[in-house]
Chain A
């Protein structure tokens, strides 16, 4: 299978997205952003629909739309009368409903919509792959640069504020990076399953160590490893790539749970 260019590209894409989601997933799990991740990924459907109707680039449009939705959730979520999950629920269902209504106006887009819902990593082009790699390096670099700031905010937001740390800017930055990561990951495993790559490797890593350096390393390794094993499984058993990748990651989680319970 390695002789096929499409498979090589898919492999690189899955590894890169697995590494990036593993890194971001550390903060998603630590700061309980899992529902925000679901909200961002599902609202990307709205972005994809706008792109398909307007004839714009689906990736860029979905990314821009996801960033807007993420920041919208952030700003409205600061209203103390509302709980955060309620705000996420409003934005995410609203954006998805917008997508479904827009798509219903034009026929013949179902297939493309399916590609976004379930991922299409085997169809990734060389240009897209280079873009994905550059993007991942930039996003990963940004997160690593401000890593300890984000850790501080996770530890005690109030104290971080008292020390003059740019807490709001950091929270917004994390959401923007998360939104871009989600949209990039949608290409690989799809809207419905990208959440798994954000949560499962990081949650598995949290079972193994209490040191954040090791947690991040394990999480990134599991993300990349799930990508490789999942793609090989997908090829071998002729099953969907996105589903196979996520199943491998989830299997790793339960295996870890068993091993850690036993020890």
Chain B
């Protein structure tokens, strides 16, 4: 079954064509990496998927419904935004921030129950930061902060996880650790993952499928196919020489990046 379907999707922002003719499908339980150079429209693609921008053509279906039409079921989609820092003085603990992810499963009274706090605790355990529950959210390291946002996205029966540059600003060990965690959660929770990054190499080693966009779809397939395709060169155009060197390096390292 397909968790996400894009058909000839097109987005214009302020009269400017940002994305066109985007078609792909994401199977339930797979990990799709979306790559492309800076300004390629990757974030817009995610925002369209989440119902945050109106599409001007084509069709999107997310878990069987159009984006933003999940009503009381909105919580089955978890979203980890691109975020490098959180203000040091933000007055909430890690547990409180994770709890925000459960607000969409509450009724109008918004009264939190013991069950909600148990789910928050479970979310923190899933990402391995239960010991930080009471720490102010602004006082975490970059890696811990990403885990907290991941817990927020996972604490409400999430089936589809959408991530926008989740490792930007992290050093290489922290980035690897984050992707390993993501892959473990993918299997443990049977999650479908859609992850955007400009970092081709990081995603190529992790995702089960890649698509490369630069306003248009350039290529869709398994990472090895995408990384060596001619279309990638088109998408990244001038950046390709630089990339080619890094890909060669990546291959020599046996794909262990």
Contact = CB atoms under 8 A, between A and B. Distances in A.
A204 to B, nearest CB: 13
A interface, by DSSP: helix, strand, loop or mixed? helix
Nearest to B156: A163
Interface of B: 50-52, 68, 70-71, 74-75, 77, 79, 81, 83, 86, 89-93, 96-97, 99-101, 103-104, 109-110, 112, 136-139, 152
Contact of B110 (A149, A159, A160, A211): A149
B99 A148 contact: yes
Report the 3 A-B pairs with minimum CB-CB distance, sorted nearest first: A164-B74, A210-B136, A152-B100
A165 B51 CA distance: 12
B91 A210 contact: yes
B6 to A, nearest CB: 17
A32 B136 CA distance: 20
A151 interface: yes
A133 B152 CA distance: 38
B91 A165 contact: no
A155 B103 contact: no
A30 interface: yes
A34 to B, nearest CB: 15
A163 B74 contact: yes
A3 interface: no
B103 A152 contact: yes
28 contacts: A30-B91, A145-B109, A145-B110, A146-B110, A148-B99, A148-B110, A151-B96, A151-B100, A152-B103, A155-B90, A155-B97, A155-B100, A156-B83, A158-B52, A158-B81, A162-B50, A162-B52, A162-B74, A162-B77, A163-B75, A164-B68, A164-B70, A206-B89, A209-B91, A210-B89, A210-B90, A210-B138, A210-B139
A114 interface: no
A154 B52 CA distance: 18
Contacts of A210: 89-92, 136, 138-139
Interface in A192-222: 206, 209-212, 215
A78 interface: no
Contacts of A155: 86, 90, 92, 97, 100, 137
Interface of A: 30, 145-146, 148-149, 151-152, 154-156, 158-165, 206, 209-212, 215
B90 A165 contact: no
A148 B109 contact: no
Contact of A163 (B86, B103, B112): B103
> Which of B104, B109, B112: most chain A Cβ within 10 A?
B104
Contacts of A156: 81, 83
Contacts of A159: 79, 81, 100, 152
Contacts of B91: 30, 206, 209-212, 215
A206 B74 CA distance: 33
Contact of B103 (A145, A158, A165): A165
Nearest to B88: A210
A154 B90 CA distance: 9
Contacts of A215: 91
Contacts of B79: 159, 162-163
Given A148-B103, A210-B139, 19 more contacts: A145-B109, A145-B110, A148-B100, A151-B92, A151-B96, A152-B100, A155-B86, A155-B90, A155-B100, A162-B74, A163-B75, A206-B89, A206-B91, A210-B91, A210-B92, A210-B136, A210-B138, A212-B92, A215-B91
